[in-house]
Amino acid sequence: MSDHINDVLDRIGDRYIQEAACCRSVSVVRQRTVRLALIAACMAMLMTVGVAGWKLAIRPAMGSDGVRRYTYYLLDDIPENAPAQVETVWLPDVSVLDKDYALAFCNEKTIEAGTYLSTVYWGHSGGQISVSQFPLAVFESYTGKRASIHYMPDEIRRTELGGKEVLCEIRDGIISNVIWSDGSYCYLVHSSGYLADGQWGVLLRSFRPVPDYEEIAAAHPYYHPDSGTLETVLIPGFLPEDMGVFSWAVTPYCAEWSIYDEAGYGVAFEQTPLDVRNYYTEDGKIGPYYGGEVVDWFIVGRTVIYEGDCSGFWDYFWYEDGDRCQLRFDKETGLDFRPLAQNMIESMTRTTPADAEAFYACMK
Amino acid sequence: MDEKKILALFYHRSADAVTEAQNAYGGLLRQLCGNILDDARDTEECINDTLLALWNTIPPERPQSLLAYTCRIGRNQALKRRRDSHAAKRDSRLSLPLEELLSVLPAPSLEEQWNADQLARAIEGWLDAQSRTDRVLFVRRFWFGDPIREAAARVGLSEATASKRLQRLKKRLRSYLKEEGYLDE
């Protein structure tokens, strides 16, 4: 039988194989405060990066305004007086988006402890790669594991938000990342597209506060002082058709979900609330919240399916037929996450009452 | 070197053709064959066999996509080698993704050859309707035999999310094949 399956699969067209073969890996970017501290410690390094036909040098410099900026050069274009390289690393999968922008991600999981590579955006201008002031691409060493991971967004758009330039990365028609740079700080924010009052916006989140935030913020010039705040902003210029309507967020500590309905079928948006020990809603603390893996929402027709997977602690499943409802509590702690679901329902009621009704029905 | 130039080298019977093909596709083949074979030496031999097969078949073959052509040869070489060396035992590495599809794809019939072609076209139609992320995830998992973790990394998903997506994809594919009459209700 497996021979038969192999036979079928072997007849799949070239284009699918090409597409999958050429798709570079991409990390699930996660900002970890510990690694931010590492970044700060490593920032004084000059690195030379070999990039599949490109050689890239990254040179940090502290400006007179106290802001650290990075300048990226094509290796061939490095000025003669550039500092000697202190380290050479190989990023096998990084490639160039186009002549204007390239984007690199690194999967931190594949890197030895003590190393870090975050996200790199660079633009190309006049033979010299100019820098976005995003604090990135800093690591102490590269130990030989596959470290560089790259993918090509469908598109990167440059737009302006609140008088500041942002780069929006579009994947599958959805804003998936926004880089915000105003010369004094930059940070990566999570975002998701949604429609509100006819405009497609993005939900932005900065780094959240952590116990040692002050220390990190002091060491890290790019650490935004408003870390932990959740902003909902609209970025003009994005008005996709048939995008639907849900956005929900819990502030100020960590959680956010968004749903957008696409052609009636729903699209999941995943968020990863990381390392949050206490989860709050507007109604107050509802219990320890263990940093988990995935939170997915789906709107399928009139029914909501919500899957939560928090390191195996809890799961919700609401199936389309409404009958196969399963709610699992944390057996070890006895925690009841229904208030969390209730909060979600109330939020949903504001925008999709029909789905919320079905959601309620499943819970009973 | 780009694909057209490598193909030109093959057509002109230049000895550099194999070297350039190895440069271009060696890494990809190593991953693909490595997913199927569990022995590094077997994998290297499989890559060499694949490169030799390229040399022996081009020309007369004139593949539209040298990349896909190379992958196909590599995959089949690896499967053959694996069948030969693992005939008596199961290997969870590739058998797992394939077993996952057992519940989705229809069983072979007497007209197996015809069905395989038809089924492949149907799957292509279904793939076309999926998002690029889902398409790549599916092909990486079931064609390239990537572990879920690696397939997930390809499309920027966590392993857990990719696993769930794959489950949903299989469910969708099964529904689609039912609608198209390939599977009984």
pLDDT at B182: 78
A&B contacts, CB < 8 Å: 129
What is the rounded distance in angstroms from the CA atom of residue B23 to the CA atom of residue B34?
17
Query: A25 and B132: CB-CB below 8 Å?
Result: no
Which residue among B27, B135, B164 places its CB closest to the CB of A16? Answer: B135
Q: How far is CA B169 from the centre of its chain?
A: 17
- Per CB-CB distance under 8 Å, the chain B contacts of A260 are none
For B108, the token pair is 């072979």
Q: Which residue of B has its CA nearest to A310?
A: B160
Q: Which residue of A has its CA nearest to B154?
A: A25
Query: B164 and A294: CB-CB below 8 Å?
Result: yes
pLDDT at A169: 53
Query: B154 and A17: CB-CB below 8 Å?
Result: no
Tens-digit pLDDT profile for residues B128-169: 888 888 888 899 988 888 888 888 877 777 777 788 888 888
The pairing of strands A278-281 and A284-288 is antiparallel
Give the pLDDT band (50/70/90) at residue B71: very high
Helices A14-22, B132-142: crossing angle, 10 deg rounding: 100
For A46, the token pair is 């000059």
Residue from A1, A3, A5 to probe the interface with B (highest B Cβ count within 10 Å): A5
The pairing of strands A88-90 and A47-51 is parallel
Helix (H, G, I), strand (E, B) or coil at A25: coil
Query: B136 and A6: CB-CB below 8 Å?
Result: no
pLDDT at B70: 93
Q: If you count them, how many residues does chain A have?
A: 364
For B82, the token pair is 């694996």
For A94, the token pair is 């990084």
∠A308-A107-A155 over CA atoms, to 5°? 85
pLDDT at A324: 25
DSSP B32-100: HHHHH-S-HHHHHHHHHHHHHHHHHHTTT---S-HHHHHHHHHHHHHHHHHHHHSTTS--HHHHHHHHH
**A29: enclosing H helix or E strand:** none
**A296: enclosing H helix or E strand:** strand A294-300
Helix (H, G, I), strand (E, B) or coil at B110: coil
pLDDT at A236: 34
Give Cα separations from A3 to A48, B101, B112 (angstroms): 47, 12, 11
Whether the pLDDT of residue B106 is over 60: the answer is yes
The pairing of strands A199-205 and A193-196 is antiparallel
Q: Which residue of A has its CA nearest to B23?
A: A52
Give the pLDDT band (50/70/90) at residue B86: low
Instruction: Tell me how crowded residue B90 is: count the other CB atoms within 10 A of its CB.
Output: 10
∠B106-B112-B114 over CA atoms, to 5°? 105
What is the rounded distance in angstroms from the CA atom of residue B171 to the CA atom of residue B167?
6
- Per CB-CB distance under 8 Å, the chain B contacts of A293 are 158, 160-161
Which residue among A20, A294, A296 places its CB closest to the CB of B140? Answer: A20
Interchain CB contact of A361 with B (< 8 Å): no
For A107, the token pair is 């999967």
- Per CB-CB distance under 8 Å, the chain A contacts of B65 are 14-15, 17-18
Encode chain A (364 residues) as per-residue pLDDT tens digits. Answer: 566 777 788 888 888 888 888 765 443 332 222 222 222 222 212 222 222 222 333 444 444 443 333 333 333 333 344 333 222 222 333 333 222 223 332 322 222 222 223 333 332 222 222 222 222 232 222 222 222 222 334 455 566 555 555 555 554 444 444 444 433 223 333 333 332 333 333 333 332 222 333 333 343 322 233 333 333 333 333 323 322 222 223 222 223 332 222 222 222 222 322 222 222 222 332 222 222 222 333 322 222 333 333 322 223 333 223 322 223 233 333 333 344 444 433 333 333 334 444 434 433 3
Give the pLDDT band (50/70/90) at residue B74: very high
Single-letter residue type at A269: F
What is the rounded distance in angstroms from the CA atom of residue B13 to the CA atom of residue B88?
40
For A130, the token pair is 């100019």
What is the rounded distance in angstroms from the CA atom of residue A273 to the CA atom of residue A253?
9
Q: Which residues pair with A298 in a beta bridge?
A: A305
pLDDT at B73: 92
Query: A26 and B133: CB-CB below 8 Å?
Result: no
pTM exceeding the 0.80 threshold for the entire prediction: no
ipTM score here?
Answer: 0.85
CB-CB contact of B54 with B70 (8 Å): yes
Q: How far is A96 from chain B (nearest CA, A)?
A: 15
pLDDT at B69: 92
Q: Which residue of A has its CA nearest to B112?
A: A4
Give the pLDDT band (50/70/90) at residue B49: confident
**Residue that wins the pLDDT comparison between A146 and B1:** B1
